[in-house]
Amino acid sequence: MQKKFTPILLGSDINVYGMARSFHEAYGIKVKTLAAGHLAATRYSKIVDVEVHPGFEDDPTFINVMRSKMIEYQDHSEPVILIACGDGYVELLAKHKDELSATFVIPYVDYDLLEKLISKENFYKIADKYGLPYPKTQIIKITDYQTDDYLKCMSFGFPVALKPEDPVSWLDCRFEGRKKAFTIHDAAELKDIVTKIYTHGYKEDLILQDFIPGDDSKMRVLNAYVDKNHKVKMMCLGHPLLEDPTPQSIGNYVAILPEYNLNLYNTVKTFLEKINYVGMANFDIKYDERDHEYKFFEINVRQGRSSFYVTLNGCNLAKCYIDDYVEDSLKDQDPVYANQDPKKHVLWLGVPTKVFKQYAFENEYKEIAEDLLKKKRVGTTVFYKADCSFKRWLLMKYMFYKYIGRYKAYYQVNKGSFFKK
C-alpha cells in the first residue's frame, strides 16, 4: 500500500504548476502552495491551492509564516515535504533548514554549499576544481568600472555575453534597454551598458564571458535528481530549440526536444556526487563548435521553469521526492539515464506551435520536432485535460497568444540579428 505524504510547494508560477501537475499525474492529489501573490499559471486550477501571504518571498514574513505552519503540522502523521520553485525560496529554505527540519522534509543542500553554487563566480571556481567546462570568464567589479580596468584586461574578443552576478539585486536595477542578459559586439557598447548598470543602483559584480557562437539550438538543459545519500538517481537531458526573446526573459526555453548523451550524463553525475549534492539540479549548457565541448553556464539548485519536459518524457519529477523521502526506495535503484528510446520522445512547448515553426532555426533538430508535432507527440506544462475549466483554458490561451506579439517586437533585435538562419 502506498504511504501517505503531504507536499507543499513554494511559489505560484509555471514552475509550481509543473510540479503540481507532476503530483496530480502520479498520485491524483491536489497540492497546496504558499506564495507572495497569484500568477497566471496557477490561476483557476483544480490541482493546486494557492495560499497567498504578501511579502512571503522575503524574511521576516517567510520565516514567520513557516513557523505558523510548523505549529499547524507539528503533529502531522505524514511526511510534509517542502519544494521550492524559485531561487529565492530555495535560498530561504536552505537558510532556515535547521529550524524547519524539525517539522518538514527539506530536500536541499545546506546554506554554505548553496551560497557557493548560486554565485556564478564561485560556481566557476568549483567547476574548475572538478573539471566541469565553462566559457572563458572575467569578473567585473564596481571598482573596475570606476577605473575602466575591465576594458584593458579582457582575455577574449567580441562578441561577449554580460549578465549580473546577483540576480536578486538586479531586480532593483532599472534603465532603458535593461535585459536579463546582454550580447555585446564592441568595446563602446560594453562601456555604455556597464556604465548604465552601475549608475542605476546595481553594486554587485558582473559576469563577462566569451560568447559561444550559435543559435538557440546549440543550448542544452539537464535536470538531475540526487537522493538523500548524495547519489544521482535520475538525469534527463533536453535540447532547447527556441528561447524567449523578451528582454526580461531572455534565455528562458520555450521549446525543448528530449535528447540522450551518455558523456554529458556521466560528467554531471561525477560532478554532483563529488560535491555531495542533494535534491533537484538544473544545468544550462551550450555546445561550443569551436572546440567541440559542452560548456556549463550555471547550476540552478531546483527544477527549472521548463522542467515539465522531464515529466513529459517519463521521469516524473514528483516521484523523485516521494520515492526518496517517503518510500525510501531510491537507495536500491540504479540511476535513470533518460531519453534512450527516440520512439518515446515527446516535444515540450511553452509557446504556440505557429511561433515555434516560424522562429525556430532550420536544422535537423527542428525537422525531428516537426515530425513529433505531426505524430501529436507534444505537450505543454499548462494545458492539462484534467484541469481545464473554461476560465483556465481561456487564460492559458491568452498567455500563449501574447508570445506572438513578443516575438514580433523582440525576436529580430534580441535574437535573430545575431545568427544566420
- SS3 of 354-375: the string is HHHHHHCCCCHHHHHHHHHHHC
Per-residue pLDDT at 172 = 83
More confident residue, 102 or 119: 102
Q: What is the pLDDT of residue 43?
A: 98
- The rounded percent of the chain whose pLDDT value lies above 90 is 86
Q: Distance between CA atoms of 308 and 322, rounded to whole angstroms?
A: 17
Question: How sure is the predictor about 340, in pLDDT bands with cuts at 50, 70 and 90?
Answer: very high
Q: Are 217 and 239 in contact (CB under 8 A)?
A: yes
Residues 6+ apart with CB under 8 A from 157: 210
**High-pLDDT (> 70) share of the chain, %:** 98
Q: How far apart are CA 76 and CA 217, in angstroms?
A: 47
User: What pLDDT was estimated at residue 36?
Assistant: 98
Q: Let me know if 263 is exposed, middle or buried by CB neighbors in 10 A (0-12, 13-18, 19+).
A: exposed
The pLDDT of 259-284, averaged and rounded, is 98
State pLDDT tens for residues 304-328: 999 999 999 999 999 999 999 999 9
Q: pLDDT category, 285, cuts 50, 70, 90?
A: very high
Residue in the structure block whose three cell numbers are 523578451: 246
> What are the tens digits of pLDDT across the range 107-157?
999 999 999 999 888 999 999 999 999 999 999 999 988 888 788 878 889
Instruction: Output the pLDDT for position 222.
Output: 98
Q: Is the pLDDT of residue 418 over 70?
A: no
* Ordered domains of the chain (ranges, CATH): 6-108 (3.40.50.720), 136-210 (3.30.1490.20), 216-418 (3.30.470.20)
Across 246-265, average pLDDT: 94
- Of 25, 17, 26, 20, nearest in space to 7 by CA: 20
Q: What is the pLDDT of residue 169?
A: 78
Instruction: List the single range of 15-19, 209-213, 280-284, 309-313 with lowest mean pLDDT.
Output: 209-213
pTM: 0.94
Residues 6+ apart with CB under 8 A from 356: 241, 242, 254, 255, 349, 369
Alpha carbon distance 180, 163 (integer Å)? 7
Residue 2 scores a pLDDT above 80 = no
Quick one: pLDDT band at residue 174, thresholds 50, 70, 90?
Answer: confident
pLDDT band at 419 (very low <50, low <70, confident <90, very high): low
Q: In what order do the strands lie in the sheet with 80-84?
A: 48-52, 31-35, 6-10, 80-84
Taking only Cα atoms into account, the Rg of the chain, rounded to an integer number of angstroms, comes to 21
Average pLDDT of the residues of the chain: 94
Q: Is the pLDDT of residue 414 over 80?
A: no
Helix (H, G, I), strand (E, B) or coil at 189: helix
The predicted structure's pLDDT at residue 417: 59
Average pLDDT, integer, range 354-383: 98
Question: Where does residue 105 rank: exposed (0-12), middle (13-18), buried (19+ CB within 10 A)?
Answer: buried
The residue among 48, 11, 6, 1 whose CA lies nearest residue 325 is 6
Q: Report how far residue 45's alpha carbon sits from residue 204's, in angstroms, rounded to the nearest whole number.
A: 39
At 184-197, the pLDDT tens digits run 999 999 999 999 99
Q: How confident is the model at residue 421 (pLDDT cuts 50, 70, 90)?
A: very low
Question: Lowest mean pLDDT: which of 57-61, 174-178, 287-291, 406-410?
Answer: 174-178
Q: How many CA atoms are closer than 13 Å to the CA of 381, on its beta-carbon side? A: 27
